[in-house]
Structure 1
Amino acid sequence: MSDGKKQDEEKYRLLAEHSQDGMFLATGYKLVYANNALLRILGAHSFEELKEKNMLTLLEKEDAQRIKKDVRKALKGELLERVYEVKATRLDGVPIFISLSMKKVEYAGKPHALGVVRDITARKKTEENLRKSEELFRSVVEHSHGGVLIVDDAHRFVYANDEFCRLLGYSPEELIGRDFREFLDEESREFVADRYLRRQRGEEIPSRYEFTVVAKNGEKRHVEISSATITDSEGNVRTVAQLLDITERKRAEKMQSSAYKISEAVHSTQDFKELLRSIHHIIDELMPAKNFIALYDEDTETFSLPYFVDEYDTSVDPSNLRYGMTGHVLQTGHSILADKKKIFELREKEGIKRIGHDAVCWLGVPLKIRDATIGVLAVQSYTEGMSYTERDREMLEFV
């Protein structure tokens, strides 16, 4: 061997011996050379100890077969350099993860495999811990009692958990990629969008506030949002928010407020008709209230209408009320919530007569003093799609 070649070989050996990566040279499956870093990584005390081993036996069977097949191809020049990340077992029995890359080289006039091995156990543990943390986070988010969502800087949904989807009545696939402003009512849209943009610009604004969303079925829900702006690993600005459905809380607050207002009106209003007008306005804040109040006189067995507001009928003969829905509420002492179909059924089964224009939805509750029913408070809707609900019934009964 010429002096030049000896110097080159010595230089490469020096580099290999001081490398932090394990390096080896093999022909077939027989080691010709291994540096100190490889001995350390694989737990070998000497090259002779490692030389006795077929390195593929240190790998899991499936990985060993795959690499063995690729080595054959590489030695024939059919395969380019490839990197494997596999699980291995050191000579002392300790499991590790390694990164293994090999390529074909010529050494001493024969084809050899030149390999580089890195211990990536720490990285794999970090990745596994991160994966577990992500799974834990996802589990917590998915089982949260509040809606959780992430939107990008173009207002589009990036993520929505199950509770948020349930709140709106959409599947995740129906939400992802859509503008979150589509699901706000008109009053909330500008308000929320303005806060969103100001937060994206880094302005200091309250992170918790209330607004109204519109579900797939058209129902409006009051929500309280708490949000924060983050930057993801790729530098994209995201807004992460948690929503709590506060519809029932807001409804309870309204009911309490209405009851208080009615109580105040009773004590402060001298004129009876003015009192009824005040009660109508208070109810109108809770629900669409084209309503009337019918009082019943037991002695004369007749109704009177001290207050009447209707979209179509300017007046109704009180004497007819006892034969209609109003009379049925008085007779049973129970409230009635009826859509068109229910109204028709009551007419067919109970002999209830049609009084005035047909309503799309009718809701009546008994007015009681102690256990005695003295009249009926009724509201009705003539607009398709605008119906009363069980919650409206509860509100009217409460008030």
Structure 2
Amino acid sequence: MSGKSRRSILMNKDELSLPMNRRLSLLLKTLAIIISVETAIMFLLHGIVRVPEGWAGNILDGVLLGALTGPIFYLWLFREIGEKESWRQAHAQLEDRFRLLVESAPEAIYVQIGGRFSYLNPAAVRLLGAVDEASLVGRDLLERVHPDLRAAVRERMRLVTEERRAVPVMEGRCLRLDGTPVDIECSAVPIDQEGKTGALVFLRDISQRKKAETALRENEERYRSVVDNIGIGVFLVDPSMRVLSLNQKMREWFPGADAEQRLLCHRAFNSPAREEVCRDCPTQKTLQDGQVHEAVREAATSRGAADFRVISSPIKDSAGKVVAAVEMVEDITARRRDEDMLRRNYEMQRALNEMLRASLSALPLPRKLDKILDLLLSAPWFMIERKGCIFLQDGPVLAMAAQIGLSEPVRAACGRLPSDYCLCGRVARTGEEILSTQLDERHENSYEGMSPHGHLCLPLKADVAILGVLNLYLVAGEAPDEQQKEFARAAADIIAGTVLLAKAEEKFLQSQKMEAVGRLAGGVAHDFNNILTAIKGYSEFLIAAFTAEDPRRADAQEIFKSADRAAALTRQLLAFSRRQVLSPRVLDLNEIVSGMAKMLKRLLGDDTQLVTHLSPDLAAAIVDAGQMEQVIMNLVVNARDAMPKGGIVTVETANVCRRPESGKAHAEGPACAYVMLSVSDTGTGMAPEVLGHVFEPFFTTKPKGKGTGLGLSTVYGIIKQSGGDIEISSEPGRGTILRIFLPASRQAAEAAGAAASAVAPSPSGTETVLLVEDEDSVRSLAERTLSDAGYRVLSAADAPQALAHLRALREPLDLLLSDVIMPGKSGPELAEEILGAHPGVKVLFISGNEDGALTKHGVLRPGVSLLPKPFSPNVLAHRVREVLDGGAPRKSA
């Protein structure tokens, strides 16, 4: 109505007026009204108030003027007054309306003039914590401003009042009357009031918004904290695949991926940065089809190469349009490493199982070793070249038993390696593995043009014994990790077990052959020795009966010699089959060798030299002296025969520690303490196919008629029966070495001849002897021999007959002379029954094959006397006298 806006009316109520022409008319009319009113008043007061002379004419003139213009004036006056009254009513209504709006406005509004409150609407009163407007009007508004903002408010007041500029919205804090701070936002515009410039200020309480913002910020911080500490990488990309944000884990992995740079995904997370999208990118797929996609990626991070599992999920707007993609990135490096480790462990176990299967197969040893080596070198994750070989110990050298990938020059150079030569030789000597990633000074066996490589050499161990060496070729400069080395060690153990198994099988087959021959020898020996006893005995009678000039005496002597040779052959068979009776004692092998030295030199002849290397601190061994002499004799003779043009035979003794075979170690010695005796020659040597048969009976390499083939088999039987072991190594053109190992004893050695009687007893006597022998010829021979020597002999063919003689005997019995093996009751059983009734009786057993009845592991039981068959009458007479003169009665066994 006035042509002004609501804001201008509120700013200056005094400027509310009509246009200028009407304003002037209104002013004149107002003056006319004032004059008329004043004239009427003066006229009315003339008769009441005395007026000085001269004033009355003036008043009268005024009244007359008023009377003349009155009708016209009142007509105009009342019309104008009516218009003005109508405008005033409209203005009052408008003013009331705007005041109502201001008073009821939710926003706080106040007017300040000169820095003090001049008007406040109710919302402002409430905001500032006042009871009513009066408690604030006239007060300094800076009191209600937070101290931190007062300087800024002063500057804003200056801009409004002095420069008459409106100031923009500002957030801040005001203080209630009780001092409580309130978060607000405010704006101000200049206003004129009563001729002064002030400010109309609008305030809004934003406490709730601030709380919401704080809560939102806290939630966002919590979310970011969760995302930053979730343990996986999270980042956000827009539809153009630019990185919008990323969490702490992603920043750790990829320090160069700054979200502020808005880098493309494939550039931010690849080093070097990729120019194109990754193949099968899950993010690209998600942005295209709005589905969840997953992929595994390898990337270079701040800590090295890593494997990541990436899951891409879409973010859609209300219309279902994909507006971004959130990527969750999980580091699966450790898991994949564990999976690889598990897979490798499985493959290792499978390979080892295959090796064990090959080891237990029926294949010959060389093919087993080839198979195991192939499985070992075929492992794809094993950091080795597909080259390697297996050496087996062959005496003082290593012989290549299997190989894969080796060239002809390498096979020729490394076919046989001396111990302590090159890497493998050192391993064989020390028993310690060697890892060499390059060819160095230790690699002595090399040739020109050999390609660079390394070696992993592992000993093939069986307890303390070294069976050979596993040699694996490595890529130059690279070394297997600990797990790969453990795999190689396990393979080496399997190879060692395979070699042991092969040796055990070989020994088992050999023992089966021995057992078969032994059973044959044992079965034949009993009857054969009975026959030989008769032949020897009666031939001795003939020799004694003929004079020296009688040619028949020479014939009888030849019969006696032939019987002796046949008896020696029988003893060899029994020795080989470990069925002969031993009388072991604690002896010094050095003393035995020294005592035989002169005889051995005579056996060797002038063209062969005997060299001895005897250990000065050699431990004692428990052996049968006579049998040990036979062993040494046989070995030296074999060495001589292997050198038809002469050479050197070396006899050596030493203390050694080796793995004992089950059940073979003597109780007197430590578990690995052995005495070694070796005999070596510089002869023709033997091929490997020959070595496998040297201990078989009747096997010989000598020309026909030059050997029985029982020499080494006899040695084998004696040593095995003594609880020892025997090894042989040989090579064509390089001679042969044979080693004997006997359990060492803690006891001091006896003199080698301590068992021999100093003085032989008289072969005659008058005692009563009960002779029990089921073989008629032997019984007759023994009865005649003892009767001729003066003894009273009661002869019986079996145990019942012997007991009948004993019951009929009226005088004491002095000696029981009995065969061991007889029909019905055996000799030891008969002796036990007789000793039960006659404890003072002496006992002497005779036997061609006692079959374990009087021995334990081939060793005669303590207190038992035995005369082996065949025997001569003279030997029988001496042995009977020896037993009768021996003191305490003998045990029955």
Q: Fold-level match, TM-score > 0.5?
A: yes
SS of the residue corresponding to residue 183 of structure 1 reads coil
TM-score normalised over the length of structure 1:
0.73
The Cα of 1:97 is off from its aligned counterpart by: 0.7
Q: Map 1:155-304 onto structure 2 (within 5 A).
A: 155-167=241-253, 170-173=255-258, 177-180=263-266, 183=270, 189-191=278-280, 193=281, 195-205=282-292, 211-215=296-300, 220-230=305-315, 236-245=323-332, 246-266=335-355, 272=368, 273-282=370-379, 284=380, 286=381, 290-299=385-394, 301-302=397-398, 304=400
The Cα of 1:163 is off from its aligned counterpart by: 3.6
Q: Map 1:137-148 onto structure 2 (within 5 A).
A: 137-148=223-234
Amino acid of the structure 1 residue aligned with 2:175: T
**Is the 1:183–1:213 Cα contact (8 Å) retained in structure 2?**
no
The Cα of 1:241 is off from its aligned counterpart by: 0.9
Cα distance change on mapping 1:131 and 1:302 into 2, 3 Å: farther
**Is the 1:212–1:220 Cα contact (8 Å) retained in structure 2?**
no
**Is the 1:70–1:79 Cα contact (8 Å) retained in structure 2?**
no
Match of 1:380 in 2: 475
The Cα of 1:44 is off from its aligned counterpart by: 1.7
The Cα of 1:101 is off from its aligned counterpart by: 1.0
**Is the 2:414–2:445 Cα contact (8 Å) retained in structure 1?**
no
Deviates more, 1:215-224 or 1:118-127: 215-224
Deviates more, 1:324-333 or 1:136-145: 324-333
Give me the whole-angstrom Cα distance separating, in 2, the residues matched to 1:254 and 1:161.
Answer: 34
Cα distance change on mapping 1:256 and 1:22 into 2, 3 Å: same
The Cα of 1:73 is off from its aligned counterpart by: 1.8
**Is the 1:335–1:366 Cα contact (8 Å) retained in structure 2?**
yes
Match of 1:22 in 2: 108
**Is the 2:109–2:203 Cα contact (8 Å) retained in structure 1?**
yes
SS of the residue corresponding to residue 25 of structure 1 reads strand
Give me the whole-angstrom Cα distance separating, in 1, the residues matched to 2:473 and 2:433.
Answer: 12
Which of residues 112, 121, 127 in structure 1 aligns to 2:198?
Answer: 112
**Is the 1:99–1:119 Cα contact (8 Å) retained in structure 2?**
yes
Greater strand share, 1 or 2? Answer: 1
SS of the residue corresponding to residue 37 of structure 1 reads helix
Cα distance change on mapping 1:218 and 1:29 into 2, 3 Å: closer
Amino acid of the structure 1 residue aligned with 2:286: R
**Is the 1:294–1:307 Cα contact (8 Å) retained in structure 2?**
yes
Deviates more, 1:270-279 or 1:104-113: 270-279
**Is the 2:312–2:325 Cα contact (8 Å) retained in structure 1?**
no
The Cα of 1:237 is off from its aligned counterpart by: 0.7
- Runs of 5+ unmatched residues, structure 2: 1-15, 18-87, 362-366, 488-893
Give me the whole-angstrom Cα distance separating, in 2, the residues matched to 1:213 and 1:280.
Answer: 29
Match of 1:393 in 2: 481
Superposed CA offset, 1:97-150 (max 9, x none): 111111213344432211111111111122222222333333333344333333
**Is the 1:289–1:379 Cα contact (8 Å) retained in structure 2?**
yes
Number of residue pairs matched?
Answer: 371
**Is the 1:326–1:364 Cα contact (8 Å) retained in structure 2?**
no
Amino acid of the structure 1 residue aligned with 2:143: T
Name which one, 1 or 2, has greater alpha-carbon Rg: 2
**Is the 2:234–2:326 Cα contact (8 Å) retained in structure 1?**
no
The Cα of 1:396 is off from its aligned counterpart by: 1.5
The Cα of 1:278 is off from its aligned counterpart by: 4.3
Give me the whole-angstrom Cα distance separating, in 2, the residues matched to 1:337 and 1:241.
Answer: 45
Q: Map 1:26-105 onto structure 2 (within 5 A).
A: 26-51=112-137, 53-77=139-163, 79-105=165-191
Superposed CA offset, 1:295-348 (max 9, x none): 3434455374845459xx89745739987777888868467585xxxx59xx4x
TM-score normalised over the length of structure 2:
0.36
Cα distance change on mapping 1:24 and 1:365 into 2, 3 Å: farther
Match of 1:358 in 2: 452
Amino acid of the structure 2 residue aligned with 1:198: K
Give me the whole-angstrom Cα distance separating, in 2, the residues matched to 1:258 and 1:27.
Answer: 92
The Cα of 1:59 is off from its aligned counterpart by: 2.6
Give me the whole-angstrom Cα distance separating, in 1, the residues matched to 2:97 and 2:330.
Answer: 65
Give me the whole-angstrom Cα distance separating, in 2, the residues matched to 1:160 and 1:305.
Answer: 62
Give me the whole-angstrom Cα distance separating, in 2, the residues matched to 1:236 and 1:366.
Answer: 63
**Is the 1:329–1:364 Cα contact (8 Å) retained in structure 2?**
no
Give me the whole-angstrom Cα distance separating, in 2, the residues matched to 1:34 and 1:397.
Answer: 90
SS of the residue corresponding to residue 279 of structure 2 reads helix
- Runs of 5+ unmatched residues, structure 1: none
Give me the whole-angstrom Cα distance separating, in 2, the residues matched to 1:91 and 1:261.
Answer: 86
Aligned-pair Cα RMSD in Å: 4.3
Cα distance change on mapping 1:57 and 1:281 into 2, 3 Å: farther
Give me the whole-angstrom Cα distance separating, in 2, the residues matched to 1:24 and 1:280.
Answer: 94
Superposed CA offset, 1:225-268 (max 9, x none): 344333599x8413231313333223223223322431453356
Greater relative contact order structure (CA < 8 Å, 6+ sep): 1
The Cα of 1:204 is off from its aligned counterpart by: 4.2
Amino acid of the structure 2 residue aligned with 1:357: S
**Is the 1:102–1:115 Cα contact (8 Å) retained in structure 2?**
yes
The Cα of 1:288 is off from its aligned counterpart by: 6.2
Give me the whole-angstrom Cα distance separating, in 2, the residues matched to 1:162 and 1:309.
Answer: 53
